[in-house]
Chain A
Amino acid sequence: AQTVTQSQPEMSVQEAETVTLSCTYDTSESDYYLFWYKQPPSRQMILVIRQEAYKQQNATENRFSVNFQKAAKSFSLKISDSQLGDAAMYFCAYRSSATNKLIFGTGTLLAVQP
């Protein structure tokens, strides 16, 4: 069975600085998707970024980028120029292309200091 591990329960960053959130996963599959979701205090789940496993190029979305290391099964999220609105819980997620099941890590709570 696939698993997703987020080893940083909490992180803190100064406004305008850069922070990297870690995620590792375990799978024997070669075709899958990886995601980062943001959950602010409103508890709404918001997609931050998506990565297809077959793509070697790292995904980017404005200030958000990933470092996808398929062999190492690592999928970290980098937030550049951090803003107060980035403060939230961040979840890493894995989706199997074979079963379509989407599983999550335990989350990293990011605080942004002014």
Chain B
Amino acid sequence: NAGVTQTPKFQVLKTGQSMTLQCAQDMNHEYMSWYRQDPGMGLRLIHYSVGAGITDQGEVPNGYNVSRSTTEDFPLRLLSAAPSQTSVYFCASSSTGKNGGRAEAFFGQGTRLTVV
């Protein structure tokens, strides 16, 4: 029962480098999202998706790209890393909660990203 698999757990990037954080879920959830967690600021929504082929911006989308080609996968791309993107990143998935589905989000283990 894998749930939400997020990789890598740790990453160090140099300013200007690009990378992709991977997220996969095996629960057939429609809804997937990416958050960043910074001290004192809680979890802030970066991008989210309500189904394959559909994505939308959250509170802090600048500098990040997403795509959703399958129900299972929702990668987050950093186009040109900046020190301000140093953070802990979480991927989450959930059902819509309708038709008796559970509405709570299931989270990956998080990625600690440092940009130097």
Q: Which residues of A does B touch, CB under 8 Å?
A: 4, 6, 9, 33, 35, 43-45, 47, 50, 52, 91, 93, 95, 97, 100-107
Could you tell me if A101 and B48 are in contact, using CB atoms closer than 8 angstroms?
Answer: yes
Contacts of B35 in A (CB 8 A): 104
Q: Given the complex of chains A and B, what is the CA–CA distance between A95 and B43 in angstroms?
A: 13
8 A Cβ contacts from B11-39 to A:
30-31, 33, 35
Option from A44, A100, A101, A106 in Cβ contact (under 8 Å) with B42: A106
- Give the chain A neighbours of B74 by CB distance below 8 A: none
A102 near B110 with CB under 8 A, answer no
Residues in chain A near residue B61, CB distance under 8 A = none
* B90 and A106 contacting across the interface, CB-CB below 8 Å: no
With A33-B97, A43-B88 known as contacts, the answer to whether A104 contacts B105 (CB < 8 A) is no
Contact A104 B43 (CB under 8 A): yes
Question: Top 5 A-B pairs ranked by shortest CB distance?
Answer: A45-B107, A106-B42, A104-B43, A104-B42, A33-B103
A44 and B108 CA atoms in complex are apart in Å by 8
Is the CB–CB distance between A95 and B45 below 8 Å?
A: no
CA A4 to CA B109, docked complex, whole Å: 23
Least CB distance from B48 to A in Å reads: 6
**A to B CB contacts below 8 Å, 16 in the list:** A6-B42, A33-B104, A35-B105, A43-B88, A45-B90, A45-B92, A45-B105, A45-B110, A50-B103, A95-B103, A100-B97, A101-B33, A101-B45, A103-B45, A103-B59, A105-B42
